[in-house]
Structure 1
Amino acid sequence: MLLWTSTSPSAFGAVFAAIVFLGIGKSGQKLSENFLEYQLEEKMKTKKQGEEDGSTQDRNERSLGHTIFINIWLFAPLVVGYIITICLVFIFYDVTLEDLFRFPALLMGATNLLFLIGSLGYSRQELPVESDLSKIHRIFSTALGKLSSKYPTSPNSYYWKGYKQQHTYSRGEGVRLLPRVPRLFRWLDKAAIIKEEEEEEKEDSRHDRESLETQERKKKICTVKDVRDVKSLVHMIYLGLTIFPYSLLMASGNTFFVAQASALTPVMNKKGNDISILFLIKAVATDMSKFTCFLISPAFRNKQKPRVTYVMFERKAATITRIGFGITCAVICGFIAWQVEIRRLSSKVDTTVALVPQFLLLGVTQGLVDGGLERLFDDHVAKSLSSFEDSFSELVVGGGKLLIIPSVLIFSGWIKETIDTSHLDRYYLMLAIMNAVLLLAFAYYSVTYAYKEVCPEDEKVTTEQRLDHAHQPDSENTYQENTPPFP
């Protein structure tokens, strides 16, 4: 509505407020998708309860069918949106901005009213007492308070609190908690260490239990389960840092790619229409790549696996490959943009058609990396932190996009007042090289940590599954440092 009213010169200031509201609305898009997915899953529960009878294969096939139905149902609104956008671009290409903004304003008002009318039939989900951010802060602050403590020589020196003592490994003279993390975050294990004087008093189990629970409430000690849950997030932090150049490329696509399109001759009557078509190509490529990955995902193939462990490793390997291929597309996109800009400066290309490959690759990159990052988070990070998935993805991608501000300041010699006096070709080449270098870092951390480490579920782990992950060398159920996690 603000864009609708800002078409007159006197009300142009409303554009800035409209941009703010568009940003807020965009940040809630993933939340809306999760909300709709949750509602569909709740509707499916009633049918699943009546379909418990039958073989395991039949139940798996029905579950697969429900999953496919939910994803197709969520994909349908995107198709409708693309059809409406194409109609606006091709059919109403000569309308004024006032008419163009009036239609989405009225459409959004109508759909919002329909959403509110149906709110009485929604299912509501209980929120956890402690937020994920508070839990992460509690583990870090407790571990920092015990930074001078030595690692224990026995698993009994950790605060298990009913958790099975099976998720440990030996390193040096001490016993550490799985999963293994890079050196910078290994000290997080100290948050669950019981002090030596308290261990001597362990003869009186009741008194000791009350004392530890009191310390837990005072945030002086944390349980092994909470520590392991937060440690599972460390690998994602390292992987998130390696895709920052990808996020910088995405930010460049919304800024410098548009400047390129504005400097070229439009194929249609208006430059704005060509830019709209280019972004439509990018959006379609993004959603189609996500949907294609869902259809070919090995996690949803109807395979008979002897052990669940191999299915998990196969799914995680496919997700890592997906992200790696997405970053590779980012490298190719950077090189293509570099060549197009060189040819544009030498007047060898003059129409916006030359920008189609880089916008197409930009969309494929976004679909593979963003969707893969969410999938890897879901497979690798503990389920207790699952609600942190969307915030983490937005933090990683959004943080990388903010790097465009210091990049413009650092490479000010390449970016001038106009695109014709700038050297965006060098900037695009730099982005391609940065993505190529950090692609190697992503491969290293994903193979060394993310792929090998098993998602730290709770103590509901069978003996057969544990033997799939590692060899148990002694009676204390500790893992040797050099033991591979799977046969």
Structure 2
Amino acid sequence: MKNIIIARWLEKINQAAKYYLVFYKSIPFISVLILVHSWIEYGVIAAIITHLTDDWLHLPKAASIVNVHDGVTAVFVPVVAYASDAYLGPFTAVVCTNVAFIFGLGLLFFSAWRLKTIELQLLYIALLLIALGRAGRDISLKEFLADQFRKEGHSGHSELDEERIQSRRKVWWRSSYILGIGVSVFVLTKASWVKLSNIATIALAVAFTIFIGGIPFFEYKKPTKSGSLNKVVRVLYAAILKRHLSHNNLSSENDHPPILHVPMLSWLDKASIVEPSLSLEEQEKKARLCTVEEVQEVKLLLKMIPLWTTFLVYGLLQATGNTFFFEQVGYMDNSLGKLVHHIPIITFVIIKSATSFIVTRFCDLFLFLTNNEIPRHVMLIRIGIGMAISPLCCVIAWRIEDYRKHQSSKMDISISVFWLVPQFFLLGFMEGLVFAGLEEFFYAQVPKSMKLYGPSFTQFALSIGNFLGLPLILIFRGLFTDDLDTSKLGEYYAILGCVCFVNLVFYCYVAPSYVKGERPPDPEVEELIEQMKAGEELAREERSQIELSGGNM
């Protein structure tokens, strides 16, 4: 009996290995680039604020620069995704963004080397190029790695093939990324800012050269020349041009109104109205006419904007974690008795990332075991739990900072850096719930043609709140000085906790509206929709024939 059980387990392991582990000659060339990107992200970029405040800038200005940099990266993500999909293709996008990344790191090294004489504008240019490089890594490099598994026989046209491709992509990506994190833990943890930025520039240049060496082995995907986001522009353009038309023309001129009814977006319905003064060909040529299906797809995407607004404060808290949380490390005892004399700051980046990864995988496993088809309300509850953690994270950070200042000023004692573990843990826990939850909700909400932009729009929605850090720091500038011991960071955390609580209430108000329309698919309704679409096509053909007959007469 035991032998049978062991044999079954071995068979399952063998099947899993065949499913996930596939090797092509192109993979090592890409893996090297991923590894170096991972090391730069964790070893250089993650704690960049500590270098800026140690060697260059005042605390409020350094925090503002880092927040804006992360926000610009978020803006670049959907832009790079669109350019890669519609015009460049993943390979060209990877090349362009990595060249920008290398130049950005080079300028960062030069600005650190000449920091006493160089203009501050050079730092801004460097961070702008680095933001473009990071956006390319998150979107184009992942897509290009997935393309390597789209060999003959695995075209990815079916959902099963695409799921297999993405599973294999994740295995290789995560393996290389974890190796890069390991390098960041043990290599150059005490290096100066000048040395670190110099080695990062050289390392990425070498990795990119190795990547280019794999050109003969790569699989390439051609750009579509008509990205899905073009559809959004066309519908908006047509609706604006027809803003003077009445909705009454919708049913009489175009057979039936759009099926999806969204009051705030009802003006988009006008994009599908047929204007009797122009021929169908002329309207389509001038982008003045869209199909009902196109209007529906755009409305499904834009319908998510109210929900996205609730993530602005989430992004603000993440920005705080990426700046002030790390700055606190420098004012605490970062030793572990006589065993470890220096705990690298990367340790806390790993605590946050590892917590996020474990929470995400646990949720995926739990939902998979309970129900393969995740209901929409479950996704929103998952996100809501993550949002509920945000004020708790701020309260804990507030109390720990007050305790640190009290011990430092009254007792002249530096408390252990491990007091920061709870707030980094909660930050990662929140990210694990919210990021993957929003990505799943995006896939369930939008049409199939726009699912490609799921990761980019998710990252954009969750990171655009970084820009809020700038006005908030300016409003409460009186709380900050050049030194954290004389600043009132605890009060800032308390204010942020109140903002997070108000945002949680707002989320609880907005989220239920996305569950009201949730219902199991009705075969009769689906059949009716198909009949209505067929009727629309038939009506278009009849109009074309009438116009053609009129022209011949």
Give the CA RMSD over aligned residues: 4.0
**Structure 1: distance between partners of 2:463 and 2:183:** 28
Contact kept in structure 2, 1:179 and 1:453, CA below 8 Å: no
**Structure 2: distance between partners of 1:33 and 1:319:** 28
Contact kept in structure 2, 1:285 and 1:363, CA below 8 Å: yes
Equivalent residue for 2:258, pick from 164, 172, 177: 177
1:108-257, aligned counterparts within 5 Å? Answer: 108-152=204-248, 155=251, 157-158=253-254, 176-181=257-262, 183-195=263-275, 197=276, 211-257=279-325
2:172 aligns with 73
1:377, distance to aligned residue in structure 2 (A) = 2.0
**Structure 2: distance between partners of 1:48 and 1:142:** 33
Q: Give deviations 1:263-310, integer Å, cap 9, x for gaps.
A: 223226999854222122223223333444444443xx596x8xxxxx
| Pair 1:65–1:132, CA change in 2 (3 A) | closer
Q: Which runs of 5+ in 1 are unaligned?
A: 53-58, 160-164, 166-175, 199-209, 306-310, 456-460, 478-487
State the secondary structure of the residue aligned to 1:263.
coil
State the secondary structure of the residue aligned to 1:402.
helix
**Structure 2: distance between partners of 1:66 and 1:395:** 24
2:480 aligns with 415
Contact kept in structure 1, 2:359 and 2:433, CA below 8 Å: yes
Contact kept in structure 2, 1:152 and 1:193, CA below 8 Å: no
1:84 pairs with 2:180:
no
Q: Give deviations 1:78-97, integer Å, cap 9, x for gaps.
A: 22122212222xxx655666
**Structure 1: distance between partners of 2:287 and 2:123:** 47
1:50-65, aligned counterparts within 5 Å? Answer: none
| Pair 1:95–1:255, CA change in 2 (3 A) | closer
Equivalent residue for 1:263, pick from 331, 334, 337: 331
**Structure 1: distance between partners of 2:365 and 2:164:** 12
1:384, distance to aligned residue in structure 2 (A) = 2.4
Counterpart amino acid of residue 422 in structure 2: P
2:498 aligns with 433
Contact kept in structure 1, 2:379 and 2:441, CA below 8 Å: yes
1:127, distance to aligned residue in structure 2 (A) = 2.6
1:289 pairs with 2:359:
yes
2:399 aligns with 339
Counterpart amino acid of residue 344 in structure 1: R
1:397, distance to aligned residue in structure 2 (A) = 3.2
1:104, distance to aligned residue in structure 2 (A) = 4.5
| Pair 1:420–1:93, CA change in 2 (3 A) | closer
| Pair 1:444–1:119, CA change in 2 (3 A) | farther
Equivalent residue for 1:28, pick from 130, 136, 155: 136
**Structure 1: distance between partners of 2:180 and 2:367:** 26
1:342, distance to aligned residue in structure 2 (A) = 2.3
Contact kept in structure 2, 1:33 and 1:74, CA below 8 Å: no
| Pair 1:250–1:16, CA change in 2 (3 A) | same
Q: Give deviations 1:421-472, integer Å, cap 9, x for gaps.
A: 33322322232232333233334433313673589xxxxx9835638x99x9
Counterpart amino acid of residue 386 in structure 1: K
Contact kept in structure 2, 1:327 and 1:365, CA below 8 Å: yes
State the secondary structure of the residue aligned to 2:248.
coil
1:178, distance to aligned residue in structure 2 (A) = 3.3
1:380 pairs with 2:445:
yes
**Structure 2: distance between partners of 1:464 and 1:367:** 39
Contact kept in structure 2, 1:380 and 1:454, CA below 8 Å: no
State the secondary structure of the residue aligned to 1:255.
helix
Counterpart amino acid of residue 253 in structure 1: G
Aligned pairs, number: 417
- Identity, % of aligned positions: 26
Contact kept in structure 2, 1:297 and 1:318, CA below 8 Å: no
1:277 pairs with 2:347:
yes
**Structure 2: distance between partners of 1:64 and 1:147:** 42
Equivalent residue for 1:43, pick from 151, 154, 158: 151
**Structure 1: distance between partners of 2:516 and 2:137:** 30
1:466 pairs with 2:526:
yes
Contact kept in structure 1, 2:147 and 2:221, CA below 8 Å: no
Contact kept in structure 1, 2:156 and 2:165, CA below 8 Å: no
Contact kept in structure 1, 2:335 and 2:342, CA below 8 Å: no
Q: Give deviations 1:318-355, integer Å, cap 9, x for gaps.
A: 43233222222323212211221222232287222111
Q: Give deviations 1:38-96, integer Å, cap 9, x for gaps.
A: 325413844989xx9xxxxxx97x987665444333221122122212222xxx65566
Counterpart amino acid of residue 349 in structure 2: F
Equivalent residue for 2:470, pick from 405, 409, 418: 405
Counterpart amino acid of residue 439 in structure 2: E
State the secondary structure of the residue aligned to 1:129.
coil
**Structure 1: distance between partners of 2:190 and 2:145:** 38
1:180, distance to aligned residue in structure 2 (A) = 3.1
1:12, distance to aligned residue in structure 2 (A) = 8.2
Contact kept in structure 2, 1:142 and 1:222, CA below 8 Å: yes
**Structure 1: distance between partners of 2:492 and 2:506:** 21
**Structure 1: distance between partners of 2:370 and 2:503:** 35
**Structure 1: distance between partners of 2:435 and 2:341:** 29
Counterpart amino acid of residue 376 in structure 2: K
Contact kept in structure 2, 1:248 and 1:402, CA below 8 Å: yes
Higher helix share: 2
**Structure 2: distance between partners of 1:44 and 1:411:** 59
Normalising to structure 2: TM-score of the pair?
Answer: 0.64
Counterpart amino acid of residue 261 in structure 2: R
**Structure 1: distance between partners of 2:125 and 2:274:** 54
Contact kept in structure 2, 1:290 and 1:367, CA below 8 Å: yes
| Pair 1:126–1:317, CA change in 2 (3 A) | farther
**Structure 1: distance between partners of 2:341 and 2:247:** 64
Per mean C-alpha deviation after superposition, the further-off stretch among 213-222 and 28-37 is 28-37
1:419, distance to aligned residue in structure 2 (A) = 2.6
